[in-house]
Structure 1
Amino acid sequence: MVAQREFSGRGHIDINDDSEMSYWTHQLSVTPAQLFAAVCAVGTSTRLVIQYLGIASA
């Protein structure tokens, strides 16, 4: 289980931070590769990444 951690910028995903990658892949039920591809495609905005991945609510 991934510990609930309050990140300084919930609105953005830092793919260079292993803890954030682990948190967001768990929260969004995606692989690290899928999350990385989404961030590369639309940027680090959590809202845009969720839209890109087609996730209804996270």
Structure 2
Amino acid sequence: MEHMKLKSRKLWLALALIVVFTLLLWFEKLDADNYTQAVLTLFGIYSGANVLTKFAKGGDNNGN
């Protein structure tokens, strides 16, 4: 099994945004429905960006 690449800027940006969303929820600047929608949207964008990056790099079938 290949180790996760923690150098990914997309990953760090996604994690930072989740922290921001969580802080906004904590300080009641964001309600639970909007928090959920924001996290789901972020996940969709992150996942789509990973797929596009794989196709742009011409990744092979074993995930590299």
TM-score when normalising by structure 1: 0.29
TM-score when normalising by structure 2: 0.27
The structure with more helix, counted as a fraction of residues? 2
In terms of Rg, which structure is larger? 2
